Chains A and B, each alone.
Chain A
Amino acid sequence: MFETSMTRRSFVKGSTLAGAAAALGLTTKNSLVETDIAYAERPVERTAVRTACHGCIQVCPCIAYLEDGVVVKLEGDPEAPQSKGSMCLKGLAQQHIVYSPRRVLHPMKLVGQRGSNDWEVISWDEAIELAARQYVTCADKYGDYAFWCATGGGGGYSGPFVKLMQTAFGSCNQISPGACQCYLPRKGVAQFMWGGNNQSIADSSCVEPFNEYDPKIEVLVEWGAQPSTSQTAQSGRSVADMRARGVKTIVIDPLMTPDAAKADLWLPIRPGSDTALMLSWFRYIFENELYDQTFTKYWTNLPFLINPETKLPYEANEVWPDYVNPAEDPDGVYETPAYVCFDAITNSLQPFPYSAPEDSPVDPLIFTTATVNGVEAKTAGQIYWEEAEPWTLEKAAKTCWLEADKIEEAIEMYTNAEYAGIAHGVFSDMMENSSQAPLGCLGLDMIMGRVNKPGATLTGQGSRSRSKTRPTVGLIANPGLSMISSRYGVGWIIGYTKEWNDKNIAKAKREWAEKGRDPDEMQRLYAQQQLDRLGMTKYKGAYYWNQSNIAAVRKAIETGEPYKPRFLYETSGNKLANLGDATAWYDVRNEQDFVVQQYTYMTSFTYEFVDLFLPLEEWLEYETGSQEVAQLNKTYMRKRVIHLGETAHNYIVPMQFTNKVCELRGGDDKIFDKDILYSSCWDNMKDAEASWASVYGASTWEEAMENEEEYNPAVVDDDQYWLKYQHESIASDKLPVGFATLSRKCEVYCTLMLLQARTGWPYLYPYEQVACDDYSPICTHVEQTENALTDTEYPLTLTSGRTHYWHHSTLRHSAFNRELMPEPEMLVNPDTASEYSIADGDWVKIISRRSSTHGVARLTEGIAPGIVWMERFWNPECFDSTQESPTGGWRECNVAVLTLETTANECFGSATYRAFQVKIEKSTKPDRVWCEPKEFEPFMPTLRGELQTEEMFQ
């Protein structure tokens, strides 16, 4: 309890109990409207609940204050290790968002045509029955592949279960714009290259720069990363604290972002040219021998000689058939190959067995050519050098629109520091270079030896980064499952031998037999699903997260080839604001038999596509106690602070649907594999709570809640969290632990890129996907298909990024955020603006080859001439009940209608959401769009008087 001078009167004043909920045909229970004066003047008791914010992808512990069961205040928790009491405006907005008249509190069925926005309230029983019956009708008629599902990004309200849902139903398609266009490529390439974490600050993979237990970093390169705007109170706070400690930063970003404004050096790069700059860094570092010689020789694969035919490293027994590999596991479990190098000691070709650097029999040359089995072969280092060699500082400066001396200054800052690292933002995931750019950023840190070292972004934390054996990695790691092969007998775990992998597959099949299922059929069907997933012959990197290629899915919906996805289970907010070429998606909306969406708010997507809407809890209403709610070494509980209407938990609703489908079909075995969903979904809250209790070391969730001081947060001791030099410790085979890759070394030359392109290995073993062209194993320069160097018709390059105000689709309904940023700003250099007679504050039309949309011009010297920057946006006010002629609100001001779905990265199929060509013209404000603060009154909270309800599906 907290002392307070507030009275009920002040609360009543704060509650704008308008009846705007009528927009959705709902009524509010305005019990406080009739408040009498005496009651109103009485002091109210204020109570506090510790919970955790979910206003963005990350987590900031916070405190919710309640009066009479109503949340009246949120603030950051001062005990939080990163946010330290901070809570940003995205999180604070929840106190309006949760009570917004636009919340949906009951299941809603579309009664008119799609686009009519005509809904009726139905019960959960009716809703689940309707969804399941529609599914059964559709799947019975068209087969399992008629089902598909979708989600947003990793930070969304619905978790990773969507990746499993396709499999549960024997289907193979799932899309998420927040996968191949956000994080999957950077995370995947890091896994391919060293089996460890990646350089993303936003996803809390790169946290060593924020280590205050043993702070060491001197220089951080923020390459296309903007923590101050993306995770404002979490990593935004951390970079502010880090800079205040004296850490220098280099920011590489077309826009002078808040982080660029604070940087010691800003390189305003031309959007889409990053790989050219990376190669110039490689060239400079190689030429001036600034790399870490020992690490590069002994902990990377750059000295390995590469077979020019296979492009793969020679193994020693290919050259010396009788060679005995000293690192071979006598038990046949782990695999540690020996390779071939050119040895400087003997000046000859030699086997290069795995060992600690000091125990190595060779001193391998990194850059050389040698004759191997009668063929001229280059080392991987030589191949990299030849790729980088043309990229002088001057050539990179010209290509990237930078100054050569500034590039040199940046490289010198980065290389001269003893402790430094690169943080790699989301930009490249949304471009055609989505595999080549992380190959570059990771490769640079690796040749500098900045791996598992103080200050290095590529430093693992906690027990998961520490192995006592030769490390292994199972790609296609699913939530709750170490590897898909452990379930169906498909896939190879890297680091184990073929013998062990085959045994592992046999074990999986035995388990199916014990369950009474045909093991060969389960393996074959699962493999066939993987082979039949849309787009996978070309873009096999998407296997890493079981993602379909989004453009291929849309094309299949449009043409029915090779088959037609018809029943969609959608679990995120506004696809029409997030998919590439949103208009092309709108055009296929009526090619869907039935669309279910589970979310907290109706969005443009709901308006245009959805037949049945299942209402979810907002983050003040749902509980979570998993590793998803962690800040550094502390894991927090997210609590049910309030609960309104009939909203339900995001991990339980899919199970309700699945259970009903099984019931209608006559058994749990009437879909492919219902049980796989239980690795991240639950039938009810009791089951969920049981799984969370162990995170906190409590026997039950009730015990954890009742003794919160003892259990919340769960803490990993600093000395067990901030680990270093993990790869150097000695494993069970008496060799250094090394890394979870094929070679047990950092694969700067990434052999997995080649192997997966050819057969889909290791994802599909023992099955094979159709081969496609090889993916580049090293960073190469990839120019966007649409680019400023060649395009004269659409002369301006548009790029994008986040602003402080938004994350989830829900936040566009925040009146207090919208009044500050009512419309998207198109940032443009004054010289460019003057060419189009555009003044600051003018409405502009932005036109791409796909479509056009609108924004407000802001003239700024913080961006180069020829580039425009605009955040994606959408306007939920366009279908507010006050509008005379409503629309879905996704055409008016929305970058997604300009983006491309067709040009794609070679490995991941990442579509182009940034760095493409547009033209602009002066325009006028689109109809329906609200710009003045008072216009947002219909978004102010109205549901504070709602009765508190119990959790659905307890």
Chain B
Amino acid sequence: MTRRTLVINLDRCSGCDTCTTACKYENDLPLGEYFTRMLTIGPTGKFPHVERYWLPVQCQQCENPQCVAVCPTGAAYRDPDTNVVLVNHDTCIGCQYCIYACPYGVRSMDETHGVAQKCTLCSQLTGNSADVPVCVHNCPTGGRFFGDLDDPESDVSKELARYGDECVHTLPDPGGVGPTARYILSPSIAAWKELI
């Protein structure tokens, strides 16, 4: 099986928002719309005994995506070859069920075309495996990795292999959606916070 996803190393991420705008230029998003957003976690604690990290949040490429489950037309789907979660704009009716169903709030409406939109892992660049998403390519801290979670030779697998289990996290998953995106955060930088 192929599970294309992102691994984001928060030990490196400095919250610069380059992923946010690189995505907007590449995917031609208008003002106010984003496929990925930067959350600042902290500083938590009481000055000066505090810690802080940044958490970029985009589609988590779930195993059991709720957006797909609730879509009445099948427009929301996982690509059979890569398992990337995508939207078929020809069949999307703009009902917004998927937007409400997504536990991570990373889908939005393309108001111009009346359809749901989301991160495609830059499928226009990565579809033929020729390139990586622009957020990965340009990340100023070299903290974003793209590839197949099931391929031990992929960039994501190799980066994950450098860290112990205590450093590898996923966003909370109360609904059992099975996010495949992984976040690396070493306890020496900050304790991972469960946000939901």
Q: B-contacting residues of A (Cβ < 8 Å)? A: 3, 5-6, 10, 13-14, 73-76, 78, 83-89, 92-93, 95-96, 228-229, 232-233, 236-237, 240-241, 243-244, 256, 258-259, 261-262, 264, 266, 268, 403, 804-805, 815-817, 819-820, 829, 860-865, 932-934, 936-937, 940
Contacts and interface: CB of A to CB of B under 8 A. Distances in A.
A13 B18 CA distance: 22
Nearest to B162: A244
B137 A75 contact: yes
A315 B146 CA distance: 65
Contact of B15 (A258, A816, A865, A936): A258
B14 A804 contact: yes
Given A73-B26, A89-B17, A805-B17, 17 more contacts: A6-B124, A14-B28, A75-B137, A78-B137, A92-B21, A95-B25, A229-B14, A229-B16, A236-B16, A236-B141, A240-B12, A256-B43, A258-B54, A261-B53, A262-B189, A403-B48, A861-B43
Nearest to A935: B31
B18 A232 contact: yes
A936 B24 CA distance: 15
B28 A13 contact: yes
Interface string B15-41: 111101110111010011000000000
Given A86-B142, A819-B31, A258 B14 contact: yes
B137 A817 contact: no
A236 B143 CA distance: 12
A511 to B, nearest CB: 49
B14 to A, nearest CB: 4
B52 A862 contact: yes
Nearest to A87: B138
Nearest to A83: B140
A101 B50 CA distance: 44
B135 to A, nearest CB: 11
B190 A261 contact: yes
16 contacts: A84-B142, A85-B137, A228-B16, A228-B141, A229-B14, A240-B140, A240-B141, A244-B12, A256-B43, A261-B53, A261-B189, A804-B17, A817-B21, A820-B17, A820-B21, A861-B43
B174 interface: no
A817 B25 CA distance: 12
Contacts of A820: 17, 20-21
Interface string B122-159: 00100100100010011111110000000000000000
A739 to B, nearest CB: 36
B140 A266 contact: no
Q: Lowest 8 CB-CB distances: which A-B pairs, in order?
A: A933-B32, A258-B14, A233-B140, A228-B14, A240-B141, A862-B43, A804-B16, A933-B31
Given A268-B48, A861-B44, A89 B22 contact: yes
B150 to A, nearest CB: 25
Interface in B102-138: 124, 127, 130, 134, 137-138
Contact of A816 (B25, B44, B51): B25
B63 interface: no
B121 to A, nearest CB: 15
A6 B47 CA distance: 50
Contacts of B137: 75-76, 78, 85
Contacts of A236: 14, 16, 140-141
Nearest to B28: A14
A85 B138 contact: yes
B50 A241 contact: no
A598 to B, nearest CB: 29
Nearest to B12: A240
Residue picked from B16, B26, B134, B137, most chain A C-beta under 10 Å: B16
Given A256-B52, A864-B48, A804 B15 contact: yes
Contact of B18 (A78, A89, A815): A89
Nearest to B19: A89
Nearest to A401: B48
B175 interface: no
A5 to B, nearest CB: 5
Interface string B48-79: 10111110000000000000000000000000
Nearest to B127: A5
Nearest to A936: B31
Nearest to B16: A804
Given A86-B138, A240-B12, A820-B20, A937 B47 contact: no
B50 A232 contact: no
A933 to B, nearest CB: 4
A188 B25 CA distance: 41
Contacts of B42: 861-862
Given A5-B127, A256-B52, A86 B140 contact: yes
Contacts of A861: 42-47, 50
B43 A860 contact: yes
A73 B22 CA distance: 9
B97 to A, nearest CB: 25
A865 B14 contact: no
Contacts of B22: 87, 89, 92
Residue picked from B20, B25, B28, most chain A C-beta under 10 Å: B25
A229 B31 CA distance: 23
Contacts of B143: 240
Given A228-B14, A237-B142, A817-B21, A75 B134 contact: yes
A702 B190 CA distance: 53
A14 B15 CA distance: 27
Interface in B143-188: 143, 188
